[in-house]
Amino acid sequence: MGTLRITEAELARDIHAVLAKVRTGVEVIVEQDHRPVATIRPPTRSGRPISACIASAKASGSKVTLDGGFGKDVEEGIRERSQRRTVSECLALAEAHEKEAGQAPVLDPDLAADVEEIVRNRKPSSPSARD
């Protein structure tokens, strides 16, 4: 997406705007006296995007029908880090959705491997980082 070079003073003056650029994919290099002192970039993602999981399900002949907004809903849920759910809560939501929709979702066969990879690469979080 590109690179932006800024001074420490520019970063301090409007860190929110700088982080907004990073969220769009821009790498920001912070300089002091025209020398790089820090680089801020979006985190690298592991696993497969939900769109790839859906494409895989379709390619394998899955009979499940997902509405057009399913992938976006899942991605939005992932972004909503402040509202974490336990696995039990997620299963209860899935069961409620199944009753409402009248059919059970069929998950991508690689879902377990994807979850294991996410758990394996997970970094411990501190409560203060979420505040």
The first and second tokens of residue 96, run together, are: 């409620």
**In this structure, are residues 53 and 111 in contact, taking their beta carbons and an 8 Å threshold?**
yes
- Ranges of H-type helices in 47-86: 50-59, 70-79
pLDDT tens-digit readout, 26-44: 999 999 999 999 999 988 7
pLDDT at 127: 54
Q: What is the pLDDT of residues 55-105, one digit of tens each?
A: 887 788 777 666 777 777 777 777 665 566 677 777 777 788 778 888 776
Residue 22: pLDDT over 60: yes
For 3-40, the fitting CATH number among 1.20.1070, 2.60.40, 3.40.1620, 3.10.450 is: 3.40.1620
Domain locations in the chain as residue ranges: 3-40, 46-104
Opening angle at CA 58, ends 56 and 60, nearest 5: 70
Does the pLDDT value for residue 14 go beyond 70? yes
Q: How confident is the model at residue 16 (pLDDT cuts 50, 70, 90)?
A: very high
Report if pTM > 0.75: no
Using an 8 Å Cβ cutoff, are 28 and 6 in contact? yes
* Burial (CB count <10 Å: 0-12, 13-18, 19+), residue 57: buried
